[in-house]
Every structure is written in C-alpha cells, then in structure tokens.
Structure 1
C-alpha cells in the first residue's frame, strides 16, 4: 500500500510549518507499513494532479498568496480534473482561501481564487485574529462526529450554501 501526496507551493506556502505536517504524515504512514511518496510542485512546474491520492497546500501571508495566484489559476483545469477523479485535498489557511471565490487581504487587495467552492474570505472587520482551540460538530452521511482543532486566522470565510459547510462550531 502507498500514499502519494503532492505538496503544492511547498516553498512559498509554509507559514505554519507545513513541512512538519508532511514529516508527521510520513512517520505515521511508515509506522503503518504504508509507503509514503511525497512530491512537491511550485511556481512554473507541472504535474499530473490526478496521479496523487492527496494534494496538500499550506498557508502563507497575503503577499505570497498574491505572488502565486496567477500561477495557481493556470492550474485550474488540471486541479478540477483531479477533484473529479476523486483526489482528496487538504487545504490549510491561504490554500483553503484560494480554492474559493476570492480572498480580500489586509491591504484590501482582492486575490482571485479558483472558484471550485462557493465561499469567499475577507479580512476581519474588527482586525481581530481568531486564535485558539475550536470544537465542531460535523455530520457525514447522517452520522455525527466531533472535530477538535486549532485556528489562527485574520480573515472571515462566508459561504452561500449551508449544505456545503464543514460543520457547526460549538466552541471557538
């Protein structure tokens, strides 16, 4: 068994130590006897996105998101094909923002997203950051699950369709 992971913009979108997340995933796979194949893809490079089991994109400041947004938009067709082919995506922070409609950063610049999902992220109207533990209730196929996590962001994400929400925040 193997897990093929593509880390998009590993050299640009690594604000929160996402390389460490890849190291942890590799370790956990090795402990379970799963071969971990880790590839990277950055500005100007091309990959067959459908070749992977998981595509990961981490977080980065507004400036880095602006730098890579044009490159990311060029990948739209290939990434959409990967989604349609059943590839899983784990998107953190700016990675998540850029797969939505758009992101408006701290300087009020609008960064166009891939528009794969019907949400937008805008800077907080209070300039406060959301930092701390979060507890969510999620429902998958009629079964309820608790999700615990950590958030650290200044933007607020707004969706247009409640059925696409990941879960309901209970605390955080």
Structure 2
C-alpha cells in the first residue's frame, strides 16, 4: 500500500464543494490515520489497469468480481448536476465502496471518529476503499472530470443510506470495528 494519497481536515466554509477547502493553517491527515478509520489506499499504474498484476491480486484477495467504468463529467452523464448533488449528500453504504481513479481527479470526504470532515483527493492511479458504514460523500474537483473503475463483491448494490443512520447494521459494525462517537444529524 502506498502512502502518496493527499488528505486534510476541511474548513467550515460551505460554498463551492469543488474547491479544496483547506483549513487555515492547513491540517494534513496521514495515510496512517486514514487506515485507523478503515480507509485503505493503493497507488497503481492507471495505464496498465487491463493487465495490472497488483490490481488483479487486490481484486482476488478481496473477492472483487464485479467491475465497471464510469466517466463522470457534464458531457457524458445525463442529469449531471443532480447526480453530483446526490453523490455529495452525506451517506453510508452496507458494503465497501471501492473506486480506482484511472483519469482525472475528485474528492471523497469522510467523517472521522470525532465527526470532523476529512477531504481525500484521489487522482489517476489511486485505488481507495471506504469501509461499509463510514459517513462519506463525493464530488469532483474544479477539473470537473474523473474516470473511475468501480469494484464490488458480487452483484453491485448502489444503495446509499443518507445520514442519520446510527442504527443501520453497517454503521453499527463500523463503530464496533473502528470506534467513534455517535453522531448527530446536520
């Protein structure tokens, strides 16, 4: 697992979500802290995704047998603005969320154990795994384009459970495995 991913605590300004939203002064987050929250990361070669042995090993080790590709940009997605708004609504999933950035860039925002937002900037070559039950959201950065490989165990289920989901079994399991305090609605 590489440690080249960029992450930081976000400011409390709620304007354009596609801006970096660094605090002043910046407060960077280490890959080690992300791992404590259950967030895993690999740096791979996106030009070799069709025959990458390391990607194949990750997929085999974690039983990811479903794969598709998604180009997310205004020109290629119907109802683009609404989709981006939906992705940016805070939610959890009952399963891991696995994304491999092949081109472009974007932000996954996750909540830490103290309910603070951490912004994780994924770029070409970043494979990220968010654990089931972690509160998160996604948006593009100002380049407005990302090509993602989506991986899944079994048939994909894209159901998002919008916050507040403290009683959801995936959230309960997440809290048991990674700690954290109960959170409130925002």
The TM-score normalised by the length of structure 1 is 0.26
- Identify the structure with the greater strand proportion: 1
TM-score of the superposition, structure 2-length normalised? 0.25
- Does 1 or 2 have the higher relative contact order (CA < 8 Å, sep 6+)? 2
Greater per-residue helix proportion: 1
